[in-house]
Amino acid sequence: MAYAESPKGLSKWQQVVRNAKAFGTFLYDKEKGEVMGRGAESWGKITVFFIIFYLCLAGFFAAMLNVFLATMPDPAKAEGPKFTQYLAGRSALRISPSHKISNFNKDKSGEYNGYVNSINDFLSAYKQQNDTDFAAEYCNFTSTKPMPSGQEKQCKFDLTQLGPCYSNANGFSYGYGDGAPCFFMKMNKVYDWVPEPDDGLSYIKIVCEGAKVYPEQTPGFPVGFFPYRGQGKWLSPIVAVQINGTSNEEAKCSAYAKNVERSSTFLLERGAYNRVRIQIQ
């Protein structure tokens, strides 16, 4: 059986044989003494290059790993995170259900039930506080001293301090059904940070333009709940911000204390800290 001739005058089988011989010569050229197109000197140089390259890569990885481990706490010493000085006093204010709600209509419960459910989830841990794990004798709303170290019980937050923004009644809508929605605010945790309230105060003061802040008598985060030392059941103090949705559509809130800094922006999307803008759309 004759093979079809290629344009070069070689059959397909002959081309396969020729290519196989060429590949074999590439792997080892006996006449030139080359392996895969390189002589002994060339292979020596490239081997040395890659040894140095991978040693440098391994050294860089080891250095970065060492830097990372330097920021980790030592379990044997019960230490907390390191380098928290970059976060102390520059905490973000977190809002529940959100710092921006859309399509709000107090007459249509279906449009705000999602926000109410989100608030219920946010407050669930506070509603479950018990006398076994939580206490209030050393961390109340008027104490000017931080929480003592070594306490087995965590600070108990009294939700009834949040005025009209809280009720344990079934179906409570947190003001959304009345056209005056409530938002709940807390600070991000910063390990072992203790706030220093302004003179005469026992809390980080929260001031909101266009809204009312609760607790009414101590509108802010009580210093007695701080610091956070990695306690598993520690709960951050919270404040409630109530906006009259019929007359205002936004509120701008800021935190004030001696060791609290504030960003120039109120927008969380732009990295705001200790300031936040709440919008109703």
Q: Report d(CA 227, CA 236) in Å as an integer.
A: 10
Q: Please, which pLDDT band fits residue 95 given cuts at 50, 70 and 90?
A: very high
Q: Where are the domains of the chain?
A: 16-70, 93-280
**250-256 and 275-280 as β-strands: parallel, antiparallel, unpaired?**
antiparallel
What CATH number does the domain located at 93-280 have? 2.60.40.1660
Q: Is residue 237 reached through a cis peptide bond, with omega within 30 degrees of 0 on the bond before it?
A: no
Q: Cα dist. 109→105, 121, 178, 276 in Å? A: 8, 18, 11, 26
Total-model pTM: 0.72
pLDDT tens-digit series, residues 41-85: 788 888 899 999 999 999 999 999 988 877 766 655 556 666 666
Residue holding tokens 């007695």? Answer: 224
Mean pLDDT value of segment 162-178: 93
96, 224, 64, 109: which is closest to 165 by C-alpha?
A: 96
> What is the structure's pLDDT at 78?
54
